[in-house]
Amino acid sequence: MDKRQITLKDIAKELKLSPSTVSRALRNHPAISKETKELVRDYAVKHKYKPNTLALQLRTNRNNTIGVIVPEIVHYFFSTVIAGIQDEAEKENYNLIICQSNENYGREVKSVETLLDARVRGILASQSKSTEEFSHFQDIIDNGTHLVFFDRICTGINTDKVVIDDYAGAYNAVDYLIRSGCTRIAFLGSNPHLPIANNRRMGYEDALRNHNISVDKALIQVCDTIELAREIVPVMLKIAPAPDAFFCINDEVASYCLQICKSAGYKIPQDISVCGFTNSYITEMTDPTLTSVDQHGFEMGKAAARLLINRIKGIEKKTGIVSKVIKTKLVVRNSTRN
């Protein structure tokens, strides 16, 4: 192991040329003669010369790395976003350093440090649920590094972002539930200081109001994990009159909710409709299959990466902040009435 890579200098010495000539030949500089170019190139190919990225980067004082901070990697939505980011970054020869915060504020702060130490060109971030203090994100900007938030944006920081239309996604789903005859629709949400959770709740409430259904606080709960679902759903089923629909913040909660309702003797969707959010592959694995709001994570990843790269390259002209919205789509399956 640790074989030394061949360098420009090695080639120069071997070919009795100067390093600069070799450099120019390889980069197809017009001033170099055809013969020299061929000579150099043949030698380079033959000896598998690879330019030392590190040296290039040191000279230009910039690397081609993008940092990504997600709450979790083992997560359908976020892994989908990462795939989208990767797809777009690869096209432009950017590498990715991926950090996960594990929904933990401290690890999020540390991830930012790691990425800044690595001198990434820019950072794509989705904040953890437990983050309520934002100076680490401000540090990124103060450091002169580009920052784009996606999905779980941070309202305290003034920078580019890519989000889905959470309000409309929720509104449309709840509207659909109402039109199918549901009137007691529960909302299993998340921490309201997350804009995604708050916007969906507003969409939910407005859909109810527009159909002259009053908002019942008892039907609105923070319930964004399967553990909470196990606890909260049975309690909600005991409310009189019982809910005839659950609109859930993610597919995992929806899936558990569905199971719990079934175990309690309710027929899905005849007695109770259940709707998830994300449209992950588990929507096809539940029984009945799960109606869900598609978040288009891949598109979001691509859009966020695109925006960041445009900022890095200075292509994005807009001087103020850019806010991109990805449209959601309700995918109706069998867990909701028609």
Partner DNA sequence: ATGAAAGCGCTAACAC
Partner DNA sequence: GTGTTAGCGCTTTCAT
What phi, psi does 278 have (nearest 5°)? 130, -45
Neighbours of 93 (CB within 10 A): 7
Give the Cα separation of 134 and 108 in Å (integer): 10
Q: Which of 9, 13, 27, 50 binds a copy of itself (CB under 8 A)?
A: 50
Element (DSSP H or E) covering residue 141: helix 135-142
Query: Nearer to DNA by C-beta: 25 or 162?
Result: 25
Which residue, 140 or 154, has its beta carbon nearer to a copy of itself? 140
- Asked whether the CA dihedral 233, 239, 240, 246 is positive or negative, the reply is negative
Q: Which of residues 182-201 bind a copy of itself (CB under 8 A)?
A: none
C-alpha 165 chain-centroid distance: 14
Residue 27 makes contact with DNA by CB under 7 A: yes
Q: How far is the CB of 44 from DNA (least distance, A)?
A: 10
**Going residue by residue from 276 to 305, which x/- string records binding to a copy of itself, judged by CB under 8 A?**
-----xx-xxxx------------------
33 binds, among a copy of itself, DNA, none (CB under 5 to 8 A by kind): DNA
Q: Which does 97 bind (CB under 5 to 8 A by kind): a copy of itself, DNA, none?
A: a copy of itself
Contact residue for DNA among 56, 118, 235, 239 (CB under 7 A)? 56
Burial 273-307 (b: 16+ CB within 10 A, else e): bbbbbbbbebbeebeebbbbbbbbbbbbbbbbbbb
Among 146, 200, 306, 337, binds a copy of itself (CB under 8 A): 146
Reading phi first (left if > 0) and then psi (alpha if -120 to 50, else beta), residue 217 is in alpha
Told to check if 45 binds a copy of itself by CB under 8 A, we report: no
Q: Which does 35 bind (CB under 5 to 8 A by kind): DNA, a copy of itself, none?
A: DNA
Neighbours of 89 (CB within 10 A): 23
Residue type, 150: F
Helix 251-263 / helix 226-237 crossing angle, nearest 10 deg: 40
**Residue from 2, 3, 4, 117 that binds DNA (CB under 7 A)?**
4
Interacting residue ranges for a copy of itself, rule: CB under 8 A = 1-5, 48, 50, 52-55, 57-58, 61, 63, 72-76, 79-80, 82-83, 86, 90, 95-100, 114, 116-119, 143-146, 226, 252, 255-256, 259, 262, 281-282, 284-287, 311
